[in-house]
Amino acid sequence: MGEGRPLVAGEARGPALVLEEPLSFWGGVDPETGRVIDVHHPQLGVEVTGRVLVMPSGRGSSSSSSVLVESIHAGTGPVAIVMREPDPIIALGAIVVRELFGTRFPVVVVDEATYRSLRTDAIVSVHADDAGATVELG
């Protein structure tokens, strides 16, 4: 389907959740439930748990990385993140969860065409390593 740039290596597969707007994990996601709790986000109340989270970019606070780590470790986080724009805060969270807990959590940046082809609930496979990244349907 599409190639991308790996920010953090890993492999994951799951149903996509395509967000209309960027999301900050700090104050935007409840790490205990995996639900979007940002009252200003258009997808307030949706659950990120077990999803390949697809969003334009991350948003906001550097504390987002710690909330991402907490949610992944608790099993309430997404299984991968695919974005149009790179986000060092999201990447940091994925690196920290790998180093602290041995959990490989892929973070990938894709081009506009690949990004626009992804739909909520479609099964998406993400593979990222030093050689590159792929995002595939099915």
User: So which residues are the catalytic ones?
Assistant: 61
Beta strands in 50-103 (DSSP E): 52-55, 80-83
Report d(CA 73, CA 85) in Å as an integer. 25
3-state DSSP: the chain helix, strand, coil percent, rounded to 5? 20, 35, 45
3: three-class secondary structure by DSSP: strand
